Structure 1
Amino acid sequence: MAQKNTPVKETNQEPFVFQKANYRLMIVSIVVVILGFIVMAGDTDIYSTSKIIIAPIIVLIGFAIGFVAILKKPANNN
């Protein structure tokens, strides 16, 4: 009996939107934001400098890192 040759269907797989470096930056940004909230929730005085100035700056830096992680273009390795 003869074998039937069926054409192989080629599937065009879309590349991932983010690369490994983007995911690493996202994880770093989440850790920095959590660190900022931990500093903000300390047991010291409510109006201490670390709670009203330093902690919000740390959180904003974390959000900025996340923004960069989203907008960073993947390296073209062709």
Structure 2
Amino acid sequence: MAQKNTPIKESPQEGFVFGKNNYRLMLLSIIVVLFGFMLMIGDTDIYEFRKIVLAPIIVLAGFAIGFIAILKK
């Protein structure tokens, strides 16, 4: 039995899944989330505007940046 010598199709090598901008956005995301958590700490009043409004908004913005960094092509 003779076998046909068919060339094997090789898939082109893929690069990294994320590009340079994706990693920059992820780093920015981590920094923003950490900054938001740092705003939540302290010895002042627990019901201060900074702790119950501003810091959670900044943390959510950091998570949104991370979400965008993952989905961006």
Partner of 2:25: 25
Gap regions ≥5 residues in structure 1: 1-9, 74-78
Which 5+ residue runs of structure 2 have no aligned equivalent? 1-9
Tell me the amino acid that sits aligned with residue 23 of structure 1.
Answer: Y
> CA, structure 1 residues 20+41, in 2 after alignment: closer, same or farther (shift >3 Å)?
same
Tell me which residue corresponds to 1:7.
none
Normalised by the size of structure 2, how large is the TM-score?
A: 0.81
| Equivalent residue number for residue 72 of structure 1 | 72
Percent of aligned positions with the same letter in both sequences?
69
Deviation of 1:58 after TM superposition, in Å, equals 0.3
Partner AA of 2:59 in structure 1 = V
Which residue identity does 1:68 align to in structure 2?
A: I
Partner SS, residue 43 of structure 2: coil
Give the aligned CA root-mean-square deviation in angstroms.
1.5
Q: What amino acid is the match of 2:19?
A: Q
User: How much does 1:13 deviate?
Assistant: 2.5
TM-score w.r.t. structure 1 length?
A: 0.76
**What is residue 35 of structure 2 aligned with on the other side?**
35
Runs of 4+ in 1 over 6 A off after TM superposition: none
Task: State the Cα distance separating 1:28 from its structure 2 match.
Answer: 0.2
How many residue pairs end up in the alignment?
64
